[in-house]
Structure 1
Amino acid sequence: MKKERRKFSAGFKAKVAIEAIKEQQTVHELAAKYQIHPTQINTWKREFLDKAESVFSKDHASAKDESKEKELYSKIGELQIQVDFLKKVLGK
């Protein structure tokens, strides 16, 4: 029988990473507390620290929003064309 892989939410990962950064407990103590392998905690901690600077970056967020906005306007255009075509076909 195959054991199902555990999935952790982003909030849980952040919580564990922050506790590891605080260093009030050792990584092994945190691993025992949350029943996670110590290597996984170190990976989450490293990833958290690597991506921390993007939190304060305004350029990253606005560029992401602009690309999403363009994608949505493109989709609106496609749907409007379909609506116009169907109106023409149905004779309205």
Structure 2
Amino acid sequence: MARRPRRNHSPAFKAKVALAAVRGDKTLAELAQQFDLHPNQITQWRSQLLENAAGVFGAAADSGPPPVDLKALHAKIGELTLENDFLEGALTKAGLLSARR
């Protein structure tokens, strides 16, 4: 029996299947046959939907990464570049760093 190639499902399809599972009108076996999926996949999508449902109403807005201070990062990059250039010049003059890098 040949294996079926891996399928990627769109988020809309996953939501449709998960909502059908939450609704409970049909059994998992019926849903699996209707959508041509494994029942474990439907159960997994259903649990993901139930876990992340609060995010739809704005609770997930707090979970974003903190804002990055680009000025401080650029200053640090400049400082490190200056140090590297200075050390490279000093080591080259001392003969500890070859000029052929």
Could you state the TM-score of these two structures normalised by the residue count of structure 2? 0.58
Structure-1 separation of matches of 2:32 and 2:7: 15
Match of 2:61 in 1: 61
Q: Percent identity?
A: 34
Greater fraction of residues in helix? 1
Structure-1 separation of matches of 2:48 and 2:33: 21
Give 1:57 shift: 2.7
**SS at the partner of 1:4?**
coil
C-alpha distance 56-39 of structure 1, shift in aligned 2 (>3 A): same
Q: CA RMSD in A?
A: 2.8
Runs of 4+ in 1 over 3 A off after TM superposition: none
Q: Which has the larger radius of gyration?
A: 2
Give 1:4 shift: 2.6
Could you state the TM-score of these two structures normalised by the residue count of structure 1? 0.63
Match of 2:50 in 1: 49
1:18-72, Cα deviation, whole Å (9 max, x unpaired): 00111111111010011100010000000100000111134x32652x74xx46x
Structure-2 separation of matches of 1:30 and 1:2: 21
Aligned residues: 74
Structure-1 separation of matches of 2:28 and 2:3: 28
Match of 2:33 in 1: 32
**SS at the partner of 1:44?**
helix
Match of 1:15 in 2: 16
AA partner of residue 5 (structure 2) = E
Structure-2 separation of matches of 1:38 and 1:20: 10
